[in-house]
Each structure stands twice: as structure tokens, then as C-alpha cells.
Amino acid sequence: MLSKNLRVAAITALAPVSWGTTYLVTSELLPPGRPLLAAVLRALPAGLLLLAITRTLPVGGWWWRSLVLGTLNIGAFFAFLFLAAYRLPGGVAATMGAIGPVLVAVLASLLVGEALTLRRVLAGLAGIGGVALIVLQADVRLDVVGVVAALAGAVSMSLGSVLSKRWGRPSTGRRLGGRDQGSSSPVSGLAVTAWQLVAGGLVLVPVLLVVEGLPADAPGPAAVGGYAYLAVVGTALAYALWFRGIGVLPVGSVSFLGLLSPVVAVLLGVAVLGEGLSLGQLLGIGVVAGSLVLVFTARAPKTILSA
């Protein structure tokens, strides 16, 4: 069982690994100062692509559930993330986001009955410290709005992940141009992912129009390639793997895989952009690795709290 879970975790880890490439793609290929445009072009085309593949629409209460999950996991999360990125140094924003595993552990104990264990809490605190060592600089500045946005983004994604676990998948959906599916097997995870991405992208569209507006010029070939990569690999594939992992593994464990994103971003900066890697950053990577080992090798830890 442990080896099977580790295999699922390794596949799910490809999602935050791909998210770790976002900074490099954005800085090298996309036009500057258009984060909300990038968010919309990540979420909406990815959702429509998966919707075309699955050809399945929600039924009943899954219309509003998809809107809630899409807003929490995609729309609100992206908006808060980009606001924090504008108001804070990247290191501070990443460190604030690293509180996610602790938030998920608490929410999962309250909403889905997963045990809140000492092991998981200690691993979460270690993960925060590891990310701080990786990305924080000595001359950081704090901005109240930026800090609140970063924390709100972490809360939004954490709550969305736990609700995704709690609600699971519906037993039936409506085929595009047809009748409801039979209830013999649940709707595919790809379909549920598509609903969330479309909903989250639509939530972001008015924010884009008000805050940034539409670009005056068409994107060049490099930008088109960057947007396509983020939509297909960094969003459609990544979120499909992420939600699959949440469906199979404890959501409190899956959330720790998100700590890989800043690790990958820093390592790509070293490998591709020629950035330096300090001893403190190496130590931080080791701490993050240790927190993942602590979580994914746990068998029967003592419980602090469970529903």
C-alpha cells in the first residue's frame, strides 16, 4: 500500500514541478506586466480543452460546486497570487504560500475527517522554514496588502483542495448535446477538472478587463508558445494530476507536494539563467525534502485532532 501511494504521490508531484517552471516561462517568454492575462489564458483554454475531450457538463448541484471550486482553486487563487506578486518580493509571497500544508491539515481534520497529527504539523512548519531559506533575501520589505493577499491565496487554495476531497466526483454528468450519463460509474476526474478551470477562468475575465484591460497588440510567437505551455502543461495536465492525487491520497499529504514548486523555480534559475545557489538555499532544499519524507513515510502517527 505504501509503495502504491508513493507512486501516486510521485505522479502527482509532476503538477507542482510544472508550476515551478511558471516563473521562468513568464520572465523569458511572456510580455511583462500582464499577469491576469496570463492567468485567464492559462485557465480558460485549458478548461475548454479538457471539456472538449470529456464532452461532459455538470448536472444538479455540481453547477454551483464547480463554480465554488473553480473560484477557490483557480479564480481567487490566481488573483490573490498575482496581487501578492506585485506588492511583495517573490520570496515573501512564496513563504506565505508555504503555510498551505498546515492550513490543509487543519481544514482536512475538520471537513473530511483526516487526522491532524503531530508529524504532519511538524513537517508543515519545517516546510515553511525550508521555503523561507530557499527564497527569502536579507533585504525583504513587507506590504500589508501584499501579505494579506498572499495569505488569502493560501487559504483559498487550501479550502478548495479540501472541498475537492470532500465532494469527490459526481456519479453522473450531462453529455454535450445529449442526455445525462448513467450512474454506473463516477464522472471522470478530467471532466471535474475542466469544470473548475472554465469556472475559474470566467471568474477572472471581469477582473482582467477592469484591472489590466485587453492588450493592444497581438502576442508574438514566443509569447504564444509560453501561453500554450502554461495552458496545456502547467494547467490542464498539472491540475488533472493534482486533483487525481487529491482523490486518491489524503489531501493533507498531497498539499506538501506544493513545496516542490519554489524548489524547482530556484533550480531552474541556476540551470537556465545562471543564478547562484547559496548554502542557505541548499539547506532549505534539504529541509523541504525532509518534510516530504516525514509525511509520505508516515504509517500510524499519533493523532492531535480528527473529526
pLDDT score for 301: 45
For 155, the 3-state DSSP assignment is helix
Provide the residue ranges of all domains of the chain, joining segments of one domain with +. Answer: 2-305
More confident residue, 172 or 60: 60
Q: What is the mean pLDDT of the chain?
A: 87
Q: What is the pLDDT of residue 110?
A: 93
Share of the chain above pLDDT 70, in %: 90
Give the pTM. Answer: 0.89
Helix (H, G, I), strand (E, B) or coil at 236: helix
Q: Would you say 255 and 97 are in contact if contact means Cβ atoms under 8 Å apart? A: no
Q: Which three cell numbers stand for residue 122?
A: 511538524
Residue 300 has pLDDT above 60, yes or no: no
Whole-Å CA distances, 197 to 8, 34, 229, 275: 22, 19, 16, 34
State the alpha helices, DSSP H only, in the chain: 2-12, 14-19, 22-29, 35-54, 62-70, 76-87, 90-97, 100-111, 118-135, 144-167, 189-211, 221-231, 238-248, 251-254, 260-273, 279-296
Reported confidence tier of residue 61, pLDDT bands at 50, 70, 90: very high
88-111 CB burial, b ≥16 within 10 A, e <16: bbbbbbbbbbbbbbbbbbbbbbee
**In the structure, what pLDDT confidence band is assigned to residue 268 with cuts at 50, 70 and 90?**
confident
Q: End-to-end alpha-carbon separation of the chain, Å?
A: 24
Q: What is the pLDDT of residues 79-96, one digit of tens each?
A: 888 777 777 665 666 777
Percent of the chain scored above 90 by pLDDT?
Answer: 54
**CA-CA distance, 292 to 7, in Å (whole number)?**
14
pLDDT for the residue numbered 305: 43
Grouping H, G, I as helix, E, B as strand and the rest as coil, residue 116 is: strand
pLDDT at 17: 93
What is the spatial distance between Cα 55 and Cα 49, in angstroms, rounded to a whole number? 10
Mean predicted confidence (pLDDT) in 125-136: 88
Is the pLDDT at 294 greater than 60, yes or no? yes
Band of the pLDDT at 229, cuts 50, 70, 90?
Answer: very high
pLDDT at 138 over 60: no
* Residues 262-279, mean pLDDT to the nearest whole number: 84
* Max mean pLDDT range (128-137, 182-191, 201-210): 201-210
Provide the β-strand partners of residue 180: 174
Whether residue 103 is predicted with pLDDT greater than 80 in this model: the reply is yes
More confident residue, 307 or 281: 281
Mean of pLDDT values over 281-303: 82
Give me the residues paired with residue 56 across strands.
175
The whole-number average pLDDT for the span 90-106 is: 82
pLDDT tens by residue, 178-189 = 666 655 567 899
State the pLDDT at residue 307: 40
